[in-house]
């Protein structure tokens, strides 16, 4: 199990150039980026991204991934492989609308079942 880092190193985003802190100073330490879904392939020509750039590309890849699967397969694949770890990422798992949290289709698929709360992005209605 990885431990949370108490030390940080400063990096520059490989996309926008903005400075940000990385918590993974040593191999066995945890960084903020570990809270994002691990759906991006590693690209060794590119270094770390800042939170905003990483959030943008992960959201795009999540949306593309969901669209490639029939709904019943998306539920099985996402719920099994990306089950909720308890840490929600704004912009990936939810967004704020009129001071309320709105869960994304990605988050709801990770749950593996409908909660019958009438969620705005419920993917289960199309499954039946």
Pair (1, 51) in one structural domain: yes
Pair (53, 73) in one structural domain: no
Pair (123, 92) in one structural domain: yes
Domain hosting residue 17, numbered range = 1-57
Task: Using alpha carbons, list the distances in angstroms from residue 94 to 42, 69, 70, 84.
Answer: 25, 21, 22, 13
CA separation for the pair 16, 19 (Å, rounded): 9
Q: 38 pLDDT exceeds 80?
A: no
Structure-model confidence comparison of residues 110 and 74, the more confident one? 110
State residue 68 phi and psi, 5-degree precision: -80, -15
Residue 46 lies inside a defined structural domain of this protein: yes
Question: Mean pLDDT over all residues of the chain?
Answer: 78
Pair (48, 87) in one structural domain: no
Q: Which residue, among 113, 119, 120, has the nearest Cα to 76 in the 3D structure?
A: 113
Q: 6 pLDDT exceeds 70?
A: no
What's this model's pTM, rounded to 2 decimal places?
A: 0.69
Residue 62 lies inside a defined structural domain of this protein: no
Domain closes at, from 34, 57, 80: 57
């Amino acid at each position: 199990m990885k431990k949370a880092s108490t030390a940080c190193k400063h990096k520059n985003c490989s996309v926008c150039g903005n400075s940000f802190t990385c918590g993974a100073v040593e191999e066995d330490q945890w960084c903020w980026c570990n809270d994002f879904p691990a759906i991006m392939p590693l690209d060794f020509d590119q270094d770390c991204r800042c939170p905003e750039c990483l959030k943008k590309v992960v959201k795009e890849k999540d949306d593309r991934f969901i669209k490639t699967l029939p709904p019943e397969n998306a539920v099985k694949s996402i719920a099994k492989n990306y089950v909720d770890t308890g840490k929600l990422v704004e912009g990936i798992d939810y967004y704020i609308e009129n001071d309320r949290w709105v869960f994304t289709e990605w988050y709801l698929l990770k749950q593996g079942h409908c909660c019958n709360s009438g969620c705005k992005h419920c993917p289960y209605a199309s499954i039946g």
